[in-house]
Structure 1
Amino acid sequence: MDWDSLGDPSFGEPERLPGQGKPVYRAYGDGRFDVEDFIQVTYQNIWNRRMLGAVRDAYIPQMRFHGSTNRTYYGRGQFQAYILSMMAMFPELALQIEDIYWMGNDDDGYLTAVRWRISGTHRGNGIYGAPTGRPINMWGISQHRIIDGKIHEEWTLFNEFAVMQQIYRD
Structure 2
Amino acid sequence: ERWSTAVPPTGPLPAVAPSAAVAVAAASSADGGAFSNECLLQHGDALQPPTQGAPTTFLDECPAWVVRTTDAVWRPGLDAASVNASLEAYFYEGWRSVSSFGRRYEGMAALKDLVWGTKRAFPDLQIHISDVFCTGNDVDGYKTAMPDVLTGTNTGPSAFGPPTGRKVAYNGVALCYLQKVGGRWQYVSEVVVHDEAALMHQLGVTNLTAATHPDTVATPHDCRTNTPTWGWQ
> Considering the TM-score relative to the shorter chain, is it more than 0.5?
yes
Report the Cα distance in structure 2 between the residues aligned to 1:53 and 1:72, rounded to whole angstroms: 23
Question: 2: distance between equivalents of 1:76 and 1:42?
Answer: 16
The answer to whether the aligner puts 1:103 opposite 2:135 as a matched pair is yes
Superposed CA offset, 1:93-147 (max 9, x none): 1111110011111111101010111110111112021111110002100011111
What is the 5 A alignment of 1:106-125? 106-125=138-157
Out of 70, 82, 96, the position equivalent to 1:43 is 70
Contact 2:160 2:205 in 1 (8 A): no
Match of residue 194 from structure 2: 158
The match for 1:60 is: 92
Percentage identity across paired residues of the two chains: 25
Gaps of 5+ in 2: 1-56, 207-233
Describe the SS at the equivalent of 1:133.
coil
Label 1:74 to 1:169 Cα distance change in 2 as closer, same or farther (>3 A): closer
Following superposition, the deviation at residue 169 of structure 1 comes to 6.8
Q: Which residue number in structure 1 is paired with residue 159 of structure 2?
A: 127
- CA RMSD in angstroms comes to 1.5
Of 58, 63, 71, 2:103 maps to 71
SS of residue matched to 2:170: strand
Q: Deviations over 1:28-73 (max 9, x none)?
A: xxxx632112111110010015423211111111110111112211
Q: Quick one: distance in 1 between partners of 2:88 and 2:64?
A: 17
User: Normalized against structure 1, the TM-score is what?
Assistant: 0.77
When Rg is computed on C-alpha atoms for both structures, the one with the higher figure is: 2
Under a length normalisation based on structure 2, what TM-score does the superposition of the two structures give?
A: 0.57
In 2, Cα distance between the equivalents of 1:138 and 1:85? 18
Residues matched between the structures, number: 139
Change (3 A) 1:66 1:169: closer
Aligned letter for 1:91? P
**CA distance in structure 2 between the partners assigned to 1:144 and 1:52 by the alignment:** 20
Structure with greater contact order relative to length (CA < 8 Å, sep ≥ 6)? 2
Which letter maps to 1:54?
S
SS at match of 1:52: helix
Higher relative strand content? 1
Letter in 2 for 1:81: D
Which stretches of structure 1, 4 residues or more, deviate above 2 A after TM superposition?
Answer: none
Alignment-mate amino acid for residue 199 of structure 2: V
CA–CA distance in structure 2, aligned partners of residues 123 and 132 of structure 1:
6
